[in-house]
Structure formats: structure tokens, C-alpha cells
Amino acid sequence: MPLTQIRAFHRPDHIEGVWHLLQEGPEVRLVGGGSELAIRCPSEVRVLVDLAYLGLDRIELADDGSITLGAMVTLTDMLEHPELRALPSGVIQEMMVHVGSPLLRNAASIGGHLARGWLSDVIPVLLVLDASVELYDGEYRTTTLDRYYRDGIHNGLHILTAVTIPPASNGRAAAFLRFSRSAYDHALANAACLVDIEEGRVGTARIALSAGFRAAARQPASESQLVGSGFTDENITAAVSALEIDAHSDWLASADYRSHLARTLVGRCLHLARERAGGGS
């Protein structure tokens, strides 16, 4: 049944035009790729604004090696892009083959996916890759993806226009793991990590996890258990113990089981990353 509440479908070709429409209020929603709106449209929505005509569908490589994805780049584009596949441990590909199915990845845009701010397998991976996002709210601004969620920016009025992944240094290893009821299902919990090993010690360590419906978050307390130390079993155990897990009970799983899963996944990710880094301890 058509969404008869929708009165208009706009297709602006410049960002100011989108911003102008968006400021009209909660009755205006952005359409980026395959749309959750088509199946779960809030009743107040009256106007749809398509972002397809802004030229946001490009993947650009900067001289410093960073990669910028326009908001309308599809998840399939990301999966297939050679520079993204070359990121540490092939972690983008490792993660992306589990995101939905080709039918969803072919239509879903990275901007739309991140702006939802829900449980996602993409978010923890981009968090450990230290991605930043470009927003437009009358002017362009940039923030880290971590702050985008941690500070609630994703809930504010804005247009997410691009994602930038900084260059990867050599010697980094990453891993992603998820846990779900079946192969084609939302994760009950997921985790990603990225580590640098310098002279036998952990230089950089980034850990992100989610154990519920909210977007993943970085784990600074856990990361600090590793940085500057040897990548030993003991330190991995300490990092897992230091996780701050915001799990809740629902009909899918209990909070204690989700917490257990999250700890298990982080521990396994760290062991996997150490293996990929060539031992290290």
C-alpha cells in the first residue's frame, strides 16, 4: 500500500536546497539509497528529499592515502573497492559480506546507514579505522565518527555528506566478529579491533563493540590496558575485563548473555588481530 501521507518527493541538485527543505521540520526526511522509510515511515513524515542528485556517490583518494566516501556510496561499492579492500587485514570485506545481502548492499548508502545510528556491523569497523564524518548544517563541519555517536550529533539536524578513513600505517592488524541467531540476521553483539605493534609493544589499540540496538562505541578503558604493553594473553584478558558494556535484556537475548558475547567477541578479535600481526607478544 503506498505511503499516502507523503505529499512531495524532492530531488535538489545542491546541498543548500536540501538543507533549506530539511529545516521545515520533522515532516521532512532524507532518502539515501535503499530506504528504511519505504517500510517504516514515521507517521509525521510528509516530504521526502532524495540525496541522489548531489554528486555524493564518489570514492576519492587523497594524496596522504586517506579515502573519502560520498554519503551516497553504496555498501556494495565499499565491498568492491580495491583501496578499501586493502585496509588492514581486509577488515572492510570481512565485515561487509555479513551486512544484509547483496539486495540490501546494492541499494543502501553508507551515509544513510551511518545516520540511522542503530546497531550496525559497519560502525564498529569504521570506529576502529578512526573514521570521521563530514556534516552539513548550513556549513560543512567534520567530526570523528566516535564523537558523532558519543555526543549525540547523529540525532541533530544535519546532512551527513561524507565519511573519511585516514591512511593505514604498515604493521596494523584488524579483526571483526559478529554473533547472530542465523547467518542472515542482525547481530546480537559485534566487535572490531585494530592494533599496531611497535617493537613488541602495542602502539595503537582501538576496540569497538555493540551489544544491543544502539550503535557501537569505542572502549577507551579497555584500549588503555593494551597501549604501551606487550600483546600478551594476560593483557588481552585485562582489556576484556575493562570493557564497559551497555547491554540490555530483550526478547532476543538477556543482558548477561549479550555481555558475555561481547566479551567473548572482543577477546577473540584481539587474539585474531595478534595472529594477523604475526604473533607480537
Partner 1 sequence: MGKFTVVGTNERKVDGRALATGQPVFVGDIPPREGLLHLALLHSPHPHAVIRSINTSRAEALEGVALVLTHLNTPTVRYTTAGQGHPEPSPYDARVFDSKVRFVGDRVAAVAADSEEAARRACELIEVEYDILQPVLSLDEAMADGAPVIHDEDDALDVWAAERNCVSHMVASAGDVAVGFAECEGVVDVTCETQYAQHVPIENHIATTYLDEDDRLVIVSSTQVPFHVRRIIARVIDVPVHRIRVIKPRIGGGFGVKQEVLIEDLPALVTMRTGRPAVLEYDRAQEFVSARTRHPMRVRVKLGAKRDGILHAIEMEVWSNTGAYGTHGLTVLSNVGSKTLPLYNKAPHVKFWGEAYYTNLPVGGAYRGYGATQGYFALETAMDRLASELGIDALELRRRNHIRTGETSPIFAALGEGREGVEQTITSCELESCIDIGSDHIDWGAKRGLRHTDGDWVHGVGVSIHMQGSGIPLIDMGAASLKMNDDGSFNLSIGATDLGTGSDTILGQIAAEALGVPLEMIIVRSSDTDLTPFDVGAYASSTTYVSGMAVQRAAYDVADQIKTVAAEMLEVDANEVELTNERAGPPEGDSVSLVQVAHRSLYGVNQRQIGALASCVPELSPPPFLAAFVEVRVDVVTGKVEVVDFVAAVDCGTAINPQLAEGQVEGAVVNGIGYALMEEMIFDGKGRCRTTDLGRYKIPSISDVPPLEVVLVESFEPTGPMGAKSVSEIGINAPIPAIANAIHDATGIWLTETPFTAERVWRALNGHGS
Partner 2 sequence: MIIRFQLDGSSMETDVEPGTSLLEALRGLGATSVKDGCSHGDCGTCAVLLDGRAVAACLLFAAQVDGSSIETVAGMAGEEGLHPLQSALLDAGAVQCGFCTPGILLTALELLKNNPDPDEVEVRQALAGNLCRCTGYVKIIEGVLLGADRLAGAEGGS
Please report where in the chains the cell 559480506 appears, as a residue: 97
User: What's the CA gap between 143 and 135, in Å, rounded?
Assistant: 8
- C-beta of 31 vs 245, nearer to partner 2: 31
Check residue 254 for interaction with partner 1 (CB under 8 A). yes
Stretch that binds partner 2, among 34-42, 55-63, 196-204, 254-262 (CB under 8 A): 34-42
Q: Show the cell assigned to 103.
A: 539486495
Q: How many residues bind partner 1 (CB under 8 A)?
A: 17
179 binds, among partner 1, partner 2, none (CB under 5 to 8 A by kind): partner 1
In the chain, alpha helices (H): 15-22, 75-80, 82-85, 91-96, 102-105, 110-116, 122-128, 145-150, 220-224, 233-241, 255-276
- Amino acid identity of 276? R
Judged by DSSP in three states, 210 sits in strand
Check residue 183 for interaction with partner 2 (CB under 8 A). yes
Q: How far is the CB of 42 from partner 1 (least distance, A)?
A: 17
Q: How far is the CB of 6 from partner 1 (least distance, A)?
A: 12
Q: How far is CA 11 from CA 31, 51, 52, 108, 252, in A?
A: 10, 7, 7, 18, 39
Q: Show the cell assigned to 248.
A: 540490555
104 binds, among partner 2, partner 1, none (CB under 5 to 8 A by kind): partner 2
Stretch that binds partner 2, among 47-55, 151-159, 215-223, 250-258 (CB under 8 A): 47-55
- Amino acid identity of 40? R
251 binds, among partner 1, partner 2, none (CB under 5 to 8 A by kind): partner 1
User: What's the CA gap between 264 and 189, in Å, rounded?
Assistant: 10
Choose, by CB under 8 A, the member of 36, 83, 137, 246 that binds partner 2. Answer: 36
The residue count for the chain:
281
Choose, by CB under 8 A, the member of 59, 104, 238, 252 that binds partner 2. Answer: 104
Q: How far is the CB of 23 from partner 2 (least distance, A)?
A: 20
User: What's the CA gap between 144 and 203, in Å, rounded?
Assistant: 20
Check residue 59 for interaction with partner 2 (CB under 8 A). no
Check residue 82 for interaction with partner 1 (CB under 8 A). no
Check residue 100 for interaction with partner 2 (CB under 8 A). yes
Q: How far is CA 79 from CA 12, 143, 186, in A?
A: 28, 24, 18
Q: How far apart are the first and last CA of the chain?
A: 59
Please report where in the chains the cell 558523532 appears, as a residue: 148
Q: How far is the CB of 142 from partner 1 (least distance, A)?
A: 33
Choose, by CB under 8 A, the member of 62, 97, 157, 221 that binds partner 2. Answer: 97
Q: Which residues bind partner 2 (CB under 8 A)?
A: 1-9, 11, 31, 34-39, 41, 48, 50, 52, 76, 97, 100-104, 106-107, 183-184
Q: Which residues bind partner 1 (CB under 8 A)?
A: 1-2, 4, 179, 181-186, 251, 253-254, 257, 260-261, 264
